[in-house]
C-alpha cells in the first residue's frame, strides 16, 4: 500500500502537453507537489513540461514504484503488460470504460494479470490518490481553479471521484482540513478496508467514506476494520449510496458495484462501530465539524446563544434526542446581569461580549456532555475571538463544543478564525442539528460496540 501514498518514483503514462487532458493535469499537479522522481510516458515526446518522457514504462532507466495510467481504454492492457515486465509495484488506472459500461472481460483480464504478478491497483474509472504528506496528486482538477484543502488527520475514501473532488473543493474554500483523498472507482483490487488500515497506521483518525457497494470478499475485512479502529477512538462516517431502485441502477453504470440493501448496510455499519450518514447535511457536518471533535460521553446538551430564536430552533430539533437539564449555579447567576437568567437554552442576551460567553462556559461546560455555542455576529460586542473562547472552554472542560454562526462578513470572519484554531464550526442551524445527531450516533455506536465486545 505504501507505493500508492509514499512512492519514491512515479510515471505518468499518457502524459501530454495538451491542455486540459487528464495526462496534462496529472503531470502538472505532480510536478508542483510530488517530492520524489517523476517521469512521463508518451511515445510522441522526449519531454513534457520539463519532465523526461519515454516511449513506454520499460524504457525508463530507473525503478518505478507507481504508474498512473491515463490512456484510452484500448491501450490500458498493453500498459499493464509493460508495468508487469518493468516490475512496477502499483498502478492507478484513471481510465474509464470497463465493467461500468459492460466491458467486464477486459477488466477481468487485467485483474487476473495484476493478481498473478503481485502488482497492486486502484481503479479503473477513478481519480486515484491525493496525499498531502508526499505530494501524490492524481486528481485531474487544476489549481488554482480547484485549490487543495489544508492538511488534517481526516481522509476521504470514495467510490465516486466527483464526490471526493467536490468535497475537497468545498473544504479548500472553507479552510477545512483534508489530509488524503482516495477515489477507488471500480475497485479492481484495492478496497476501503486496506486504505483505512494503512492510513490509520500513519496517524489518520477520521474517515469520511462514500460507498456504493462492497464486492465479494470485502464485507468481513471492512466490518472488522470498523470494529478495530472504532475501539481505538477513530471516527468513521459512512454514506451508503444506492438506497432506491433508481439509484441502484445508476450505480451499476457508475462503478459496476452491487448496491445491496440499505437497511442491512446501515445496521451492520452501526453494529460494528461506524457512523451511518443519512444525508448530505450529515456528510458536511462530519467533514466541517465532527472531524475536530472527540466522541461525547453522554446525552446532556447545553445550548448557549445570544439569539433566543436560534436556541429555540435547536431545542425543538434536539430536545427529544438529548437531555437539556436547566443549569444550577448561584455564583454564575450572581455574576450575570439581572436580565440574564439561567436556562437551557442559555440566552446570554444580545449585548453579550466574549467575556460573558467565557464566564458562562467556564461555569457550565464541565457539567454537560456537548455544548453548542450559537452566536449571531450582528451583536455589537461579540468579536471573532469568541472562537478562542470556545477553544479555551473545550480544552479546560474536556467536553466537545460546536460553534455555530451564520450571516454576512462578520460570520465569515468568525468561521475563518474557527478554522485557524481547528475547532468544530458550522454555518447553519441545519448542520448544527446534523452534527449533534452524529455526535449522539457515534456515542451510542461506541457504547453498543463496547458492550458487545465485552460479552465475548
CATH of the domain at 181: 3.40.50.261
Cα distance between residue 83 and residue 77, in whole Å: 10
pLDDT at position 245: 55
DSSP bridge pairs for 92: 68, 122
Query: Which distant-in-sequence residues (6+ apart) come within 8 Å of 451 by Cβ?
Result: none
Same domain, 259 and 304: no
Does some domain include residue 289?
A: no
> Structurally, how many domains does the chain consist of?
3
* Domain containing residue 408: 294-444
Residue 266 to residue 262: CA distance in whole angstroms: 6
Rounded to an integer, the average pLDDT of 97-112 is 94
pLDDT tens sequence across 315-358: 999 999 999 999 999 999 999 999 999 999 999 999 999 999 99
Question: Does the structure show a pLDDT above 90 at 146?
Answer: no
439, part of any domain = yes
For residue 186, pLDDT over 70 is answered with yes
- 95 and 165 in a common domain: no
Q: What is the pLDDT of residue 160?
A: 93
How much is the average pLDDT of 16-40? 95
Q: How confident is the model at residue 453 (pLDDT cuts 50, 70, 90)?
A: confident
Same domain, 55 and 190: no
Mean pLDDT within 22-47: 96
Alpha helices in 202-321, H assignment, sequence order: 219-230, 245-252, 262-271, 280-288, 308-318
pLDDT tens readout for residues 404-445: 999 999 999 999 999 999 999 999 999 999 999 999 999 999
Quote the DSSP letter at residue 296.
P
Are residue 271 and residue 154 in the same domain, yes or no?
yes
Residues 311 and 265 in one domain: no
Return d(Cα 310, Cα 306) in angstroms, integer: 9
255 and 346, same structural domain?
A: no
| Range among 5-14, 215-224, 249-258 rated most confident | 5-14
Give the model's pLDDT for residue 261.
Answer: 74
The answer to whether residue 225 scores a pLDDT higher than 70 is yes
Residue 283 lies in a domain: no
State the pLDDT at residue 208: 98
Same domain, 368 and 337: yes
Query: What is the domain-level CATH number for residue 99?
Result: 3.40.50.720
Contact 168, 149 (CB under 8 A): yes
Closest of 165, 170, 164, 242 to residue 208, by C-alpha: 164
Burial class (CB within 10 angstroms; exposed 0-12, middle 13-18, buried 19+) of 105: exposed
Tens of pLDDT, residues 267-277: 899 989 999 99
Q: Has residue 138 been placed in a domain?
A: no
Within a domain: residue 453?
no
What are the angstrom distances between the C-alpha of 86 and each of 36, 57, 64, 103, 322? 18, 7, 8, 26, 59
Q: What is the mean pLDDT of residues 363-370?
A: 98
Distance CA 240, CA 247 (A): 11
Tell me what pLDDT residue 250 has. 47
**Domain presence at residue 284:** no
246 pLDDT higher than 50: no
Residue 234 included in any domain:
yes
- Same domain? For 189 and 300 the reply is no
Question: CA 22, CA 254: separation in Å to the nearest integer?
Answer: 19
Which strands form 154-158's sheet, in the order they lie side by side? 136-137, 128-131, 180-183, 154-158, 206-211, 235-240, 275-276
| H runs (alpha helix) in 190-275 | 192-201, 219-230, 245-252, 262-271
Instruction: Mark whether 162 and 228 lie in a shared domain.
Output: yes
Q: 271 to each of 30, 264, 293, 448, 450, how far by Cα in Å?
A: 40, 10, 21, 7, 10
Query: Is residue 173 situated within a structural domain?
Result: yes
Per-residue pLDDT, 243: 67
Flag the least confident range among 160-169, 236-245, 262-271, 336-345.
Answer: 236-245
- For residues 111 and 150, membership in a common domain is answered with no
End-to-end CA distance of the chain: 32
Domain boundary among 61, 92, 125: 125
Per-residue model confidence (pLDDT) at position 455: 62
Query: 320 and 187 share a domain?
Result: no
158 with 113, same domain: the answer is no
pLDDT digits (tens, 9 = 90+) for 290-320: 999 999 999 999 999 999 999 999 999 999 9
Residue 260: strand, helix, or coil = coil
**Strand order across the beta sheet in which 401-404 lies:** 346-347, 301-305, 370-374, 401-404, 425-426
Q: Is the pLDDT of residue 248 over 50?
A: no
Q: Give every CB contact of residue 238 below 8 A, 6+ residues apart in sequence.
A: 209, 211, 269, 274, 275, 276, 277
- Buried (b) or exposed (e) across 227-261, using 16+ Cβ within 10 A? eebbeeebbbbbbbbbbeeeebeebbebbbbebbe
Amino acid at each position: 500500500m505504501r507505493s500508492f501514498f509514499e512512492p519514491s518514483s512515479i510515471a505518468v503514462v499518457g502524459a501530454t502537453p495538451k491542455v486540459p487532458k487528464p495526462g496534462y493535469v496529472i503531470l502538472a499537479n505532480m510536478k508542483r507537489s510530488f517530492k520524489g522522481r517523476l517521469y512521463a510516458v508518451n511515445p510522441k515526446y522526449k519531454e513534457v513540461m520539463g519532465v523526461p518522457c519515454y516511449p513506454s514504462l520499460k524504457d525508463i532507466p530507473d525503478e518505478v514504484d507507481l504508474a498512473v495510467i491515463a490512456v484510452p481504454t484500448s491501450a490500458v492492457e498493453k500498459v499493464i503488460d509493460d508495468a508487469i515486465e518493468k516490475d512496477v509495484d502499483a498502478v492507478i488506472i484513471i481510465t474509464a470504460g470497463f465493467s461500468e459500461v459492460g466491458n467486464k472481460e477486459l477488466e477481468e483480464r487485467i485483474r487476473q494479470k495484476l493478481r498473478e504478478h503481485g502488482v497492486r491497483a486502484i481503479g479503473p474509472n477513478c481519480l486515484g490518490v491525493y496525499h498531502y504528506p508526499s505530494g501524490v496528486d492524481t486528481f485531474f482538477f487544476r489549481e488554482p481553479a480547484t485549490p487543495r484543502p489544508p492538511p488534517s488527520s481526516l481522509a476521504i475514501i470514495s467510490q465516486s471521484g466527483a464526490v471526493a473532488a467536490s468535497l475537497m473543493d468545498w473544504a479548500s474554500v472553507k479552510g477545512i482540513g483534508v489530509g488524503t483523498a482516495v477515489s477507488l472507482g471500480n475497485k479492481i483490487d484495492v478496497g476501503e478496508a486496506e486504505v483505512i488500515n494503512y492510513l490509520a497506521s500513519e496517524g489518520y483518525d477520521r474517515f469520511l467514506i462514500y460507498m456504493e457497494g462492497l464486492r465479494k470478499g470485502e464485507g468481513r475485512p471492512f466490518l472488522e476494520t470498523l470494529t478495530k479502529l472504532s475501539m481505538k477512538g477513530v471516527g468513521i462516517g459512512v454514506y451508503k449510496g444506492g438506497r432506491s431502485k433508481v439509484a441502484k441502477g445508476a450505480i451499476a453504470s457508475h462503478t459496476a458495484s452491487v448496491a445491496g440493501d440499505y437497511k442491512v448496510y446501515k445496521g451492520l455499519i452501526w453494529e460494528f462501530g461506524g457512523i451511518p450518514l443519512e444525508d448530505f447535511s450529515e456528510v458536511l457536518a462530519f467533514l466541517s465539524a465532527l472531524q475536530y471533535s472527540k466522541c461525547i460521553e453522554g446525552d446532556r446538551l447545553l445550548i448557549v446563544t445570544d439569539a433566543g430564536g436560534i436556541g429555540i430552533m435547536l431545542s425543538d430539533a434536539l430536545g427529544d434526542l438529548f437531555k437539556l437539564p436547566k443549569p444550577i449555579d448561584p455564583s454564575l447567576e450572581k455574576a450575570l446581569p439581572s436580565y440574564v437568567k439561567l436556562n437551557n437554552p442559555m440566552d446570554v442576551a444580545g449585548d453579550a461580549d466574549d467575556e460573558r460567553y467565557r464566564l458562562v462556559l467556564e461555569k457550565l461546560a464541565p457539567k454537560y456532555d456537548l455544548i453548542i455555542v450559537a452566536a449571531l455576529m450582528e451583536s455589537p460586542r461579540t468579536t471573532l475571538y469568541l472562537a478562542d473562547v470556545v477553544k479555551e472552554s473545550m480544552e479546560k472542560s474536556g467536553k466537545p463544543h460546536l460553534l455555530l454562526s451564520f450571516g454576512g462578513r462578520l460570520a465569515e470572519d468568525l468561521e475563518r478564525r474557527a478554522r485557524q484554531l481547528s475547532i468544530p464550526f458550522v454555518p447553519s442551524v441545519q448542520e448544527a442539528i446534523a452534527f449533534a445527531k452524529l455526535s449522539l450516533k457515534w456515542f451510542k455506536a461506541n457504547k453498543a460496540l463496547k458492550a458487545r465486545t465485552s460479552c465475548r
